[in-house]
Amino acid sequence: MGAIFRVNVIESENLETTLKELKKHKFKVVATSLETQESIYDVEFKKMAIVIGNEANGVSKEVLEMADKKIKIPMLGKTESLNAAVATGVVLYEYVRQKLK
């Protein structure tokens, strides 16, 4: 409860412009994608902007092209993807887990 007051959230009308600005400040961009073999456990979450796509279409092609890394959540069985809110929770949990080390 109250985590929204401790997490840096950026609201943007133009994601590509915002990501370009973040890259100027040495942030890496990581985007979720089913078209990668890298998992959330293969990334060191340091000074990164994390982009999560929606359930229907994922992250846009333009944003994927800007991404420094594409990652996915490893899944068992035939399940391909998770709801965007759940996926965000899983990715952010790994981010926090790494910070606690």
Q: Tens of pLDDT along 49-68?
A: 999 998 888 999 999 999 99
74, pLDDT greater than 70: yes
**Domain residue limits, the chain:** 3-100
- How far apart CA 31 and CA 64 sit, in angstroms, is 7
Name the band, by pLDDT with cuts 50, 70 and 90, for residue 27. Answer: very high
* DSSP E strand boundaries for the chain: 28-32, 48-51, 69-71
Lowest mean pLDDT among 8-12, 34-38, 67-71, 89-93: 8-12
Q: What is the pLDDT of residue 78?
A: 83
CATH code reported for the domain at 3-100: 3.40.1280.10
Q: What is the DSSP letter of 91?
A: H
Number of H helices, E strands in the chain: 3, 3
What SS3 class is residue 83?
A: coil
pLDDT at 10: 74
Q: What is the pLDDT of residue 1?
A: 66
User: Starting from the edge strand earliest in sequence, which strands make up the sheet with 48-51, in order?
Assistant: 48-51, 28-32, 69-71
Q: Looking at the predicted structure, is the pLDDT value of residue 96 above 80?
A: yes
